[in-house]
Amino acid sequence: TQVTCPWEHKGKVMRILSEQYRERRSKPIDGIKIDLGKEWVLVLPDADRPLFHVFAESVSTDQAQALAEK
């Protein structure tokens, strides 16, 4: 999933995610990985375009897609 985000807001979005999911984050990487137990979400800012790449893993493809879109 890709989420469009203006350049000027990308840093703020990453800070908000980092703060909001502080207890569920794993090791620091280029983005924010949120560990939700049996599921996880990885949010990576695109270096060249004003958007985020969102990857998710869950027990099913449908649940992973729903989690990424959330």
- The model's pLDDT over 48-57, given as tens digits with 9 standing for 90+, comes to 889 999 999 9
pLDDT at 58 > cutoff 90? yes
| Residue 35, C-beta contacts closer than 8 angstroms, at least 6 positions apart | 24, 25, 26
- Return the amino acid letter for 37: G
Average pLDDT over all residues of the chain: 86
**What is the set of domains in the chain, with CATH numbers?**
2-69 (3.30.310.50)
Mean pLDDT, range 13-18, rounded to an integer: 84
pLDDT band per the 50, 70, 90 thresholds, residue 18: confident
pLDDT value at position 22? 74
